[in-house]
């Protein structure tokens, strides 16, 4: 998900997306602990996506955008 796509989301959608991606990251980590993932870079991608979403959410909190 690109930054332009993230800025196009509503605040509620961002919060929901963070929750789903954190759940997804947990599942990926558990799966990776049991057997190696086919693409371990996926962990990095999901972690960075969560960070981008949280950054946008914080930016909106500071500017007061709903």
Question: Cα dihedral sign for 1, 25, 17, 59?
Answer: negative
**CATH label of the domain that carries residue 30:** 1.10.287
pLDDT by residue, tens only, the chain of 66 residues: 889 999 999 999 999 999 999 999 999 999 999 999 899 999 999 999 999 999 999 999 999 876
Cα gap 8→30, rounded to integer Å: 31
Q: Give this prediction's pTM.
A: 0.90
Q: Please count the structural domains in the chain.
A: 1
Rounded to 5°, the CA angle 16-13-61 comes to 95
Domain span holding position 24: 3-63
pLDDT for 66: 64
* 2 CA to centre of own chain: 11
């Amino acid at each position: 998900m690109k930054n332009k796509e993230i800025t196009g989301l509503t605040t509620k959608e961002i919060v929901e997306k963070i929750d789903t991606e954190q759940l997804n990251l947990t599942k990926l980590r558990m799966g990776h602990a049991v057997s190696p993932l086919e693409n371990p870079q996926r962990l990095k991608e999901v972690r960075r996506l969560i960070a981008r979403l949280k950054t946008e959410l914080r930016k909106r909190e500071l500017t007061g955008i709903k």
